[in-house]
Amino acid sequence: MNAWNRMGWHKLVLLVISLAGGSAAAGQHKATEQAGSSPWGASDEIGSLHMMSDSANLALFSKLRTGKVYDLGVEYFIGMPGFTELGDPPYQYWLTHTPRGTVVGDLTQQGSDMNKKVSYTGDAISLYTHTGTHIDALSHFGLHGKIWNGYAADEHLSDRGWNKSGAEKIPPIIGKAILIDVPAYKGIEVLPGNYVITLKELQQLVTAQHLQINKGDIVFIRTGLMKYFYSDKAKFMGSSPGMSLEAVKWLVETKGVMTLGADNLGLEVMPSADSTNWLPVHTYLLAQKGTMFIELVYLEELSAAKVKEFLFIGLPLKLRGASGAPLRPIAIPL
């Protein structure tokens, strides 16, 4: 039984608990989980990305001592891992023009001789906005009908997407980034399925590797799961190792990170063991803290090169009203 099927059973168990009298505990939990209000004002739509500044960027660029660039994005291809088990469409690619078809159909109206000389290929794609390397916009997850800063779906979500906190509002992301390489620390290639990266283990790793995480930094978590992205979809889509809520809270509330990223599907461990919230890290970061985060980041080359600190640049597509956007990220060691 894969992770998504277990999620289905998980929801059924939650329903049974509720009907049997567990609704009081759920109600108490519901009362404490609410969409947060922004310290950056009533019009805020980008949350913690306000931590970026021109002066901070300039200071980072001045620390570059190498021209080595690491590409942190995955390839898009038919059959790639994705959220199809939740009913979302798979990545699709098709040709709209081919050299032979251009000669036969003459859609260019250039004639046979010209079309044989000038080869013409064109293509198109369709994808779920949370496919491949991407960033979750603040509109992606909310609590009780409201997203970060109290924007209500009933007021701000139309048939053309969100008019607040859509992906088009996400600026280019630049910052000092830290790689937390959990499997390398443990001496293994990949964390096992459903492995929980606890706060205690995270703190031990940070101390042992002398990592300096400062306010406004970006933290990337490597689980090693990307080993299966191109070769074994079933393993990649199975029970996912990931971060515990407590570990994420420590990074956000104590260390003051600007954003996070990981090489798995959802940053957090899936399926969740929380009977009151099937994706507690998502709702905590996006709805409660206004912290966007990046998923399906390719961290293998950084790990192999033992790069721990780097300049991160991520450029999301400006998709109006969307809950997320594909992202082309790069890393340059500091």
In the prediction, which pLDDT does 75 show?
98
Q: Model pTM? A: 0.89
Q: Which residue matches tokens 């290639």?
A: 189
The overall average pLDDT reported for the chain is 92
Residue 241's pLDDT band (boundaries 50, 70, 90)?
A: very high
Q: What is the mean pLDDT of residues 70-77?
A: 98
Percent of the chain predicted with pLDDT > 90: 88
Q: What is the CA radius of gyration of the chain?
A: 22
Q: What is the mean pLDDT of residues 281-301?
A: 98
Using alpha carbons, list the distances in angstroms from residue 66 to 55, 194, 305, 329.
Answer: 21, 37, 14, 17
3-state secondary structure the chain: CCHHHHHHHHHHHHHHHHHHHHHHHHHHHHHHCCCCCCCCCCCCCCHHHHHCCHHHHHHHHCCCCCCCCEECCCCCCCCCCCCHHHCCCCCEEEEEECHHHHHHHCCCCCCHHHHHHCCCCEEEEECCCCCCCEEECCCCCCECCECHHHCEHHHHEECCEECCCCHHHCCCEEEEEEEEEHHHHHCCCCCCCCCEECHHHHHHHHHHCCCCCCCCCEEEEECCHHHHCCCCHHHHHCCECEECHHHHHHHHHHCCCCEEEECCCCCECECCCCCCCCCHHHHHHHHHCCCCEEECCCCHHHHHCCCCEEEEEEEECCCCCCCEEEEEEEEEEC
In the prediction, which pLDDT does 77 show?
98
The HSE-up count of residue 218 (CA atoms within 13 Å, CB side) is: 27
Structure tokens at 111: 């004639």
- Give residue-wise pLDDT tens across range 309-322: 999 999 999 999 99
Q: What is the mean pLDDT of residues 279-302?
A: 98
- Give residue-wise pLDDT tens across range 182-198: 999 999 999 999 999 99
- Give residue-wise pLDDT tens across range 199-238: 999 999 999 999 999 999 999 999 999 999 999 999 999 8
- Give residue-wise pLDDT tens across range 243-277: 999 999 999 999 999 999 999 999 999 999 899 99
Structure tokens at 152: 């209500």
Is the per-residue pLDDT at 333 higher than 50? yes
In the prediction, which pLDDT does 32 show?
75
In the prediction, which pLDDT does 4 show?
46
In the prediction, which pLDDT does 29 show?
52
Is the per-residue pLDDT at 3 higher than 90? no
- Give residue-wise pLDDT tens across range 9-51: 343 333 333 333 444 444 445 557 999 999 999 999 999 999 9
